[in-house]
Amino acid sequence: MANEKTGRREFLRRAGLFSGTLPGILGLDWLLKYANQLFLVPSAPTEAAVAQPQWAGAVVKSYRPLGRTGWKMSDISFGAAHVSDADVVRAALDRGINYIDTSPDYSDAESERVVGAAIKGRRDKVFVASKFCTAQGHLAVDSSVGDIVQAVEASLGRLGTDYLDLCHIHACNDLDRLMAPSFHEAFDRLRAQGKVRFLGVSSHTPELEKVMTHAVDSGRFDVIMAAYNFSAWPDLSSIIAKAHRKGVGFVAMKTLKGAYHTALSEFTPSEAQSFTQAAFKWVSGNEEVSGLVVSISKISHLDEYLYASGEKVTAQDLGLLEKYDRAVAREYCRPGCGQCLDACPAGLPIDDILRYAMYHDGYGSTRVARAKYARLPQRVRGTDCLTCAAPCQGACPFELPIRTKIVRAHQLLSA
Residues 22 and 135 in one domain: no
pLDDT of 293-324, one tens digit each?
A: 999 999 999 999 999 999 999 999 999 999 99
Residues 184 and 286 in one domain: yes
Q: Is 132 helix (H, G, I), strand (E, B) or coil?
A: coil
pLDDT of 81-126, one tens digit each?
A: 989 999 999 999 999 999 999 999 887 778 999 999 999 999 999 9
Residues 285 and 345 in one domain: no
**Contact (CB, 8 A) for 317 and 278:** yes
pLDDT value at position 37? 45
Q: Is 63 helix (H, G, I), strand (E, B) or coil?
A: strand
In a domain, 45, yes or no: no
Residue 352, pLDDT above cutoff 50: yes
Residue 3, pLDDT above cutoff 50: no
In a domain, 332, yes or no: no
Residues 70 and 24 in one domain: no
In a domain, 49, yes or no: no
Task: Please give the tally of structural domains in the chain.
Answer: 2
Residues 393 and 319 in one domain: no
Residues 28 and 68 in one domain: no
Q: End of a domain among 323, 358, 389?
A: 323
Q: End of a domain among 269, 299, 323?
A: 323
Residue 44, pLDDT above cutoff 60: no
| Strand (E) or helix (H) holding 101 | strand 99-101
Mean pLDDT of 42-59: 69
Residues ≥6 apart with Cβ < 8 Å to 376: 349, 352, 353
Residues 105 and 221 in one domain: yes
Task: Give the pairing type, strands 127-131 and 164-169.
Answer: parallel
| The one-letter amino acid at 77 | S
**Contact (CB, 8 A) for 259 and 365:** no
Q: What are 79's strand-pairing partners? A: 101, 295
Q: Is 407 helix (H, G, I), strand (E, B) or coil?
A: helix
Residues 163 and 270 in one domain: yes
Cα dihedral angle (223, 225, 230, 235), rounded to 10 degrees? -70
Q: What are 199's strand-pairing partners? A: 167
- Other C-beta atoms closer than 10 Å to the C-beta of 7 total 11
In a domain, 48, yes or no: no
Residues 373 and 316 in one domain: no
Q: Is 164 helix (H, G, I), strand (E, B) or coil?
A: strand
Q: How far is it, in rounded angstroms, from Cα 414 to Cα 164? A: 34
In a domain, 285, yes or no: yes
> Could you tell me the residue range of the domain that residue 233 belongs to?
54-323
pLDDT above 90 covers a percentage of the chain that reads 60
Domain CATH for 69? 3.20.20.100
In a domain, 381, yes or no: yes
Mean pLDDT of 157-185: 96
Residues ≥6 apart with Cβ < 8 Å to 238: none
